Structure 1
Amino acid sequence: MAVRHGESAANAAFAEAARRGEPLAFPRPDSAVPLTDRGRKQAAALGRWLAALPEGRRPQVAWTSTYLRARETLRIVCEQLAEPPPVHEDERLIDRVMGELSLLNPEAVAERFPEEARRRQEVGWWVYRPPGGESFPDIAARLRSFLADLEREAAGRRVLVVAHDSVVALLRHVLEHDDDTDVRHIAGYGEVANTGISTWERRDGRLHLVEFNAVPHL
């Protein structure tokens, strides 16, 4: 099971800037962006939903991104559980690293780095790598590494991963597709909701998608 963190302060600020059509540079490191009150409520609701699952469906071990908003989400989730799972942090689950463009909305990028806005348009969103940042294939590569280790470390236990929208979407891509050159399917995934739940089950030696981006707890 993989979930996106609850609403963060940057999520809320970017949504408001988009509504106004204004440039925004969020004034914190990406790793230190906290949850909003709404995000904390979403995380608590997710925790209560997990607690109400039959024992045979509840997570037995959890992994989280090292970023604050993901760690906060998992901490609040665990507070709702009578028997919280062991928690592990892994840097391979962090959000897309944007380098010099970190926490700038598209309007701010166009204003401050017009040449990068043009370059992204020219090379395409999938392979574009911002200065000091990552392309989407870069994220896919680190998630393949994470999944290979998870196979051994989880040892057949039910796993909860708390991470970011790019990570949840790319987990689906990696689990369903070996080819990083044909990515037309990703557009059909849609935006991953805050605390949206995606679940896979192991059958015939592979993980098969059960549901993607569900929000029954909200």
Structure 2
Amino acid sequence: MGRPRLIILIRHGESESNCDKSINRYVPNHKVPLTVRGHEQAAGAGKRLREILLPGENVLIYTSPYRRTRETTQEIVSQLDGVEYRVYEEPRLREQDFGNFQFDEAEMTRIWKERARYGHFFYRIPNGESAADVYDRCAGFNETLFRQFSSDKFAKVLVLVTHGLMTRVFLMKWYRWTVERFESLKNVNYCEFVVMERQENGKYLLQNKMRTWNDPQPDPIITSTTTSPGTDGNSIEEKQNQIRNLYEQVRKEDEQREAPDAVPLVQEIEEHALKEYDMVSSAHFDGSRAFDSDVEDVLDDAGEAAENGICLLKTIRASTATTETRGA
């Protein structure tokens, strides 16, 4: 049997739609590109993959055909100098279909709230898919893999570059998790590695501790999507409270600002973050249930924007102080 030593699932890097949900109203989901930071995350993933390969190991990469996953794959393989690898596009690894172009903000908020009430796994997006539909095509892809494993020439390391929901669905199918367990899981971070390692009995042990909505709150006041596995355990309500505290810090820093030219930029950061926060906090989500990954993304984006505002204000004040010192 040619079962690989490792099966690694990698979510794509940060994309433009992760930063601005309105893009989905006029750009097809499959054409959304990575951000600059997304490219950096993907290159970092390539370096990490290179480091965990054993001498002489070859790699087979299946990638979702979406632009953000293909760009992630390109960045990954750019770091694999001297490594034998093959790349194939696999449409069955694509993101959940959200019904072509998305509706306006109000309608999408209504859909996400309805899905939270109905159940993330079975709710079918209008003109799109449910997670159960994704499960069906994932099952077909798994069967393809098992047939390929019969070849002794199969690669030593299998990498699947895909999406957050597909990663959870793949694990659900592979390990025969229940619907309830699937709905308890939080999304994986951008370019996070989910590693399955073959044991002596031929079965695969999941190396990651998957994050759930019931995890205890960590010490950091907010965790962004680039944190290491296992550190992001905030519930919806906890994140909302943390973000409130962050905005208080932003305002306090803003009051101490001595550079009037920075006002428009600071206000833009605050307004963007507050808009995202208000959209979620006004929805009155039940923190004990499983939520759409977009909700977590919005909270993380809002918290990160607030943190960026704090850093920017501190930098501005430090720069102003340095300028005044030199002038003196």
Matched, 1:193 2:189: yes
SS of the residue corresponding to residue 189 of structure 2 reads: coil
Structure richer in strand, relative to its length: 1
Residue pair 1:127, 1:135 contacting (<8 A) in 2 also: yes
Report the RMSD for the aligned CA atoms in angstroms. 2.7
Matched, 1:29 2:43: no
CA–CA separation in structure 1 for the residues paired with 2:14 and 2:112: 26
Q: Note the C-alpha offset of 1:7.
A: 0.3
Matched, 1:145 2:153: no
Matched, 1:134 2:134: no
CA–CA separation in structure 1 for the residues paired with 2:61 and 2:54: 16
Question: Aligned AA for 1:8?
Answer: S
Per-residue deviation, residues 102-135 of structure 1 (Å, max 9, x unmatched): 445864424xxx5x56753563222111222111
Question: Aligned AA for 2:186?
Answer: G
Residue pair 1:40, 1:73 contacting (<8 A) in 2 also: yes
Q: In the comparison of the two structures, how many residue pairs are matched?
A: 200
Residue pair 1:95, 1:164 contacting (<8 A) in 2 also: yes
Identify the structure with bigger relative contact order (alpha carbons < 8 Å, sequence gap 6+): 1
Matched, 1:93 2:88: no
Residue pair 2:17, 2:23 contacting (<8 A) in 1 also: no
CA–CA separation in structure 1 for the residues paired with 2:134 and 2:28: 19
Q: Kindly name which structure, 1 or 2, has the bigger radius of gyration based on alpha carbons.
A: 2
Aligned residue runs from structure 1 range 173-184, under 5 A: 173-177=172-176, 182-184=178-180
Matched, 1:73 2:68: no
Per-residue deviation, residues 144-202 of structure 1 (Å, max 9, x unmatched): 11011012235442200000001111111111116xxx422124432210001101123
CA–CA separation in structure 1 for the residues paired with 2:29 and 2:163: 12
CA–CA separation in structure 1 for the residues paired with 2:66 and 2:23: 21
CA–CA separation in structure 1 for the residues paired with 2:122 and 2:72: 30
Q: Which runs of 5+ in 2 are unaligned?
A: 1-7, 211-226, 230-328
Residue pair 1:47, 1:81 contacting (<8 A) in 2 also: yes
Residues 106 and 197 (structure 1), Cα distance of their counterparts in 2 relative to 1, 3 Å cut: farther
Residue 13 of structure 2 is aligned with which of 6, 10, 25? 6
Q: Which moved more, 1:122-131 or 1:139-148?
A: 122-131
Question: Aligned AA for 1:185?
Answer: R
